[in-house]
Amino acid sequence: DNCNLAWKAPEDDGGEPVEYYEVEKLDVDSGRWMPCAKVKDTKAHVEDLRKGQTYQFRVKAVNREGASDPLATKESILAKNPYDEPGKPSTPEVTDWDVDRVNLAWEPPTNDGGAPITGYVIEKRSKHSKDWSECAKTKGAECEAEVLGLKEGEEYQFRIRAVNKAGPGEPSDPSRRVVAKHRNLKPHIDRESMKSVTIKVGQSLEFDVPVIGEPPPEKVWTFNEKPIEGDGRIAVCDRTLLCL
């Protein structure tokens, strides 16, 4: 919405010193020249431009005798940032996690939009939501971040936006899904249902025994102090469920 102009003073001042310069802008669509600045120096800052509009500018030197012929810019100027938003970073990788946090790493975009990357915005989306929300920011060019405040047991995806002077750019592709849970957890067996039970001959019995641990622990079930092997009478179901 603004631009800076500069020019050289006229070689011939007409016998009187230049008192000031008049700057005008041409809205190419309307074809009208409009005054936009009055300065004593050979430079001007022009504001109130419309984004995406094309303009031309011209300058007149003014002294006691009047105004000179105008000097116009050689080319039209498009009112836009001199740089663009950056491209999208690589897909973020989950490098570590726990019950309430996740650590991410990624590669910078191949296109910085013409201005240095000043930081990154991290966004998250839970399994039960269609919307992305900002969850963390970084400063500088470092391509890693820690996201805190996650809900234990919830499944999330993450994506990254690079930021430069033009603002945040296109988001990266979403990360793989990750559940906020312990990454390393000592194995634990809930023994509440593991009690002595008397049944009649021919009657079936099931023990539902929760087993937790991260990474998932290897489980070995025993019966009468011997490892259980499926033989038609005894079976171990693959979800920490012992069926007899």
240 has a pLDDT exceeding 90: no
Asked whether 101 and 94 are in contact (CB, 8 A), the reply is: no
Domains of the chain: 3-78 (2.60.40.10), 93-179 (2.60.40.10), 185-243 (no CATH)
Q: Tell me which amino acid residue 34 is.
A: M
Q: Given CA atoms 134, 138, 140, 143 in this order, what sign does their dihedral have?
A: negative
Asked whether 85 and 113 are in contact (CB, 8 A), the reply is: yes
DSSP code per residue over 86-140: ----PPPEEEEE-SSEEEEE----S--TTS---EEEEEEEETT-S--EEEEEEES
- Residue 242's pLDDT band (cuts 50, 70, 90): very low
Instruction: Give 46's DSSP letter.
Output: E
pLDDT at 103: 97
pLDDT at 188: 72
**Residue 205 or residue 121, greater confidence:** 121
Which residues are CB-neighbours of 155 under 8 A, at least 6 positions away? 126, 127, 177, 178, 179, 180
Q: What is the spatial distance between Cα 204 and Cα 15, in angstroms, rounded to a whole number?
A: 116
Q: Given CA atoms 111, 113, 119, 123 in this order, what sign does their dihedral have?
A: negative
Of residues 96, 89, 151, 159, the one with CA closest to residue 124: 159
Q: What is the spatial distance between Cα 244 and Cα 233, in angstroms, rounded to a whole number?
A: 7
45 has a pLDDT exceeding 60: yes
CA atoms within 13 A on the CB side of 185: 16
pLDDT at 164: 96
5 has a pLDDT exceeding 90: yes
Instruction: Give 69's DSSP letter.
Output: P
196 has a pLDDT exceeding 70: yes
28 has a pLDDT exceeding 50: yes
> Hey, is 177 helix, strand or coil?
coil
**For range 17-44, the mean pLDDT:** 91
pLDDT at 66: 92
Q: Structure pTM?
A: 0.60
When mean pLDDT is compared across 84-93, 101-110, 130-139, 201-210, the lowest value belongs to 201-210
**Cα dihedral 146/147/150/153 (nearest 10):** -50
When mean pLDDT is compared across 49-53, 103-107, 135-139, 234-238, the lowest value belongs to 234-238
Mean per-residue pLDDT of the chain: 88
pLDDT at 221: 78
